[in-house]
Chains A and B, each alone.
Chain A
Amino acid sequence: MLRFLLIRFGRAALTVALVVTFAFIVLRLSGDPALIIMSVDAPPEAIAAFRKAWGLDDPIWLQYLHYFTAIGQGELGQSMRDGRPALQLVLERIPATLALTLPALAMKLGIGIPAGIYAALHRDSLIDRAVMVTAVAGFTVPSFVLGLVLVLVFSVQLGWLPSGGQESWRHAILPVLTLGIGGAAVLARFTRSAMLEVLGQPYIRTASAKGVPWARVVRGHALPNAAIPTVTIVGFMVGSLIAGAVVVESVFSWPGVGRLLVVAVANRDLAVVQCILLLVAVTMVSSNLIVDLLYGVMDPRLRSGAKAGAH
């Protein structure tokens, strides 16, 4: 078990390192922060001083080395714009983002999973078709389009809800809906197909054949099996709690991590961008890790190696 955990942790760490490295290289190649932050017509001496101050005149491998050593010491650098620690800037924004993504997650789970189960159990019924049509629409429409439509309807036309900002809980309703509808649609479709797959398995027929009432067959035999693949997608949703709202935050000018990222990228505020990416990679990878461990708990075939495959 320890060996398994160590391997998994090692892989997770490697993934994070790769993401950070990739971001580092892309950011360094895609524009000179000095020119962007100091503006192009700044005096050359000022730009040179800026470069020197931030270590931008070092060769890229040296910058990379410094960067990694710093991460190792828990030092994530300062914002090039206002000199504040990048980590602090990012952490300040997290509550705002979670204020959108957590209710949205609850909505995805609360609507997506029951809708998927219901649709699978009443396959080809009117409700199944309705769920599926909504689901297809829900995840083919990009979130910025959906967001804009919601704004048009509820803010512009009906005037019920504000179209942007973070002044009250009413401001959160539209962005949460935008995030939640798409996710619920994905989850409904996924749960439905996982459930249909399981309902077609011989052990479901076995359970019925031994006289287990249908409701209990569904609860006791089908759901525990259908949950296994569904956990993957839920894990992904949990993993994107922090990074999943970039577009929506921009559409609704919600001051969360996503907005910070957009602004920081535009400004080539390297430390901030890297700090966010690191955070995102860590949450993604750790939710993946948790999913893997959950698999082991939920699926005994993965857990025990007692007598695996003599055939």
Chain B
Amino acid sequence: MIAQPQPLVTIRNLAVSFDGVRALHGIDLSVARGEALGLVGESGCGKSVTWLAALGLLPKKAKVTGSVQLEGRELLGAAPVVLDDVRGGRIAMIFQDPASALNPVLRLGKQVGEALALHRGLSGSAIKAEARRLFDLVGIPDAARRLDAFPHELSGGQNQRVMIAMALAGNPDLLVADEPTTALDATIQAQILELLTLIRRETGMALVLISHDLGVISQTCERVCVMYAGRIIETAPADLLFERPLHPYTQGLISALPPLDGVRRRLSPIEGNVPEPWNLPAGCSFAPRCPRAVAACDEGIPPLADKAPQRRAACIRVAPAEAPAQREPVFA
């Protein structure tokens, strides 16, 4: 592998448990400067927990171990002062339901202004001017008046724009967007995704997009991590992943999705259910639902191993040679 510059964020062996039940089983993940990384998986797979844990936003009862470094500086267990600087200042986060993610009794201008005061040291009229500029930037019409509005006076899409403006207030290096369009209508989802892409292009900010929607991830991200039952089970560049998924779970996810065109065929669902976090199988968590499972799958947890350049998968049934075949004409 070529020597790469230091990643922006490096997560090593991040594990989270709630009341003794493991929700996250040692995640290794890094985010490069300016990259758009997608985290995809079904509910309960740990994709949101990963980033809430990284930023210390989980409730106190959560037990978090491992390491999360921002340019070499450890965040797990860091002093509140350090974390408060990082949150919003270096790493910002937006959430699923913008209507409830904004404080209902505070004016929008005040909520955005708070971040400006904290991370940019602005005050008074400078805050107002900058908040207005941010509202314009994220495409909120009639920005000056909207600063005095309350969240309930705006639509869901507009509120998500406010959330994005608030996230941008601290000029972060990374924006973590946790299901940012799930609560929104399709046409509004398209607007928000476009806005995120545009902002990333203009500011060079890295983006982590957490979503259950493969289509959304595919449109927005360059690299994708697929998660299942608290682990990353596959990671690859987006185009390669969707073109030729390696892990049987990723394959299952993609073929369970009805296509919008082409011949209508019967869907191939993944049989069975996601295992409960307190009742995981001994070996590979996906083995009980996996069409390719063999006895060896139940014997140990498969490591996330290199299978091809830039591609890793946690499956003993995927041979390293399997993937590069298409890239290496020598074999053809």
Contacts and interface: CB of A to CB of B under 8 A. Distances in A.
Interface stretch (B29-37, B94-102, B125-133): B94-102
A310 interface: yes
Contacts, number: 90
B190 interface: no
A217 B327 CA distance: 53
B104 A211 contact: no
B105 A206 contact: no
B132 to A, nearest CB: 18
Contacts of A211: 83-89, 115, 118-119, 170
B255 interface: no
B153 A206 contact: no
Contacts of B115: 210-211
A81 interface: no
A184 to B, nearest CB: 26
Given A213-B80, A307-B153, A206 B97 contact: no
B78 interface: no
Contacts of B57: 205, 208-209
Interface residues of A, number: 27
Interface in A204-229: 205-214, 220-221, 224-225, 228
A107 B81 CA distance: 36
B238 interface: no
Contacts of A59: none
Contact of B87 (A209, A221, A308): A209
A206 B85 contact: no
Contact of B163 (A206, A228, A299, A304): A206
A301 B104 contact: yes
A54 interface: no
B166 interface: yes
B191 interface: no
B282 interface: no
B93 A209 contact: yes
Given A210-B115, A300-B150, A203 B92 contact: no
Nearest to B100: A202
A225 B103 CA distance: 8
Chain B interface size band reads 35 or more
Given A210-B169, A304-B153, A299 B104 contact: yes
Interface in B53-109: 55, 57, 80-81, 83-89, 92-93, 95, 97, 100-106
A224 B88 contact: no
Nearest to B59: A200
A305 to B, nearest CB: 10
A232 to B, nearest CB: 16
A307 B104 contact: no
A285 to B, nearest CB: 27
Interface in B151-170: 152-155, 163, 166-167, 169-170
B114 interface: yes
A29 interface: no
Given A202-B101, A221-B106, A225-B104, A210 B87 contact: yes
B99 to A, nearest CB: 9
Contact of B101 (A203, A213, A304, A310): A203
Given A212-B84, A213-B84, A214-B80, A207 B103 contact: yes
Nearest to B91: A209
B105 A298 contact: yes
Contacts of B84: 211-213
A212 B81 CA distance: 10
A306 interface: yes
Contacts of B114: 207, 210, 212, 220
B88 A209 contact: yes
A129 to B, nearest CB: 16
A201 interface: yes
Contacts of B155: 307, 310
B80 A202 contact: no
A97 B89 CA distance: 56
Nearest to A309: B152
Contacts of A206: 95, 101-103, 163, 166
Interface string A188-210: 00000000000001110111111
A123 B118 CA distance: 28
Nearest to A204: B103
A206 B118 CA distance: 14
A300 B149 CA distance: 9
A236 B203 CA distance: 54
Contact of A299 (B97, B105, B167): B105
Contacts of B85: 211
Contacts of A310: 155
Contact of B92 (A209, A221, A300): A209
B118 A202 contact: no
A206 B92 CA distance: 10
Contact of B105 (A300, A306, A308): A300
Given A210-B166, A307-B154, A203 B100 contact: yes
Nearest to A301: B152
The interface centre, meaning the residue of A299, A304, A307 with most chain B CB atoms within 10 A of its CB, is A307
Interface string B229-271: 0000000000000000000000000000000000000000000
Nearest to A228: B105
Contacts of A213: 80-81, 84
Contacts of B149: 306
- The 5 A-B pairs at the shortest CB distance, nearest first, are namely A211-B88, A210-B88, A211-B87, A300-B150, A209-B93
28 contacts: A202-B97, A203-B101, A205-B57, A206-B95, A206-B101, A206-B103, A206-B166, A207-B103, A208-B57, A209-B95, A210-B87, A210-B88, A211-B83, A211-B84, A211-B88, A211-B119, A220-B114, A224-B106, A225-B104, A298-B105, A300-B105, A300-B150, A301-B150, A301-B152, A304-B153, A306-B149, A306-B153, A310-B155
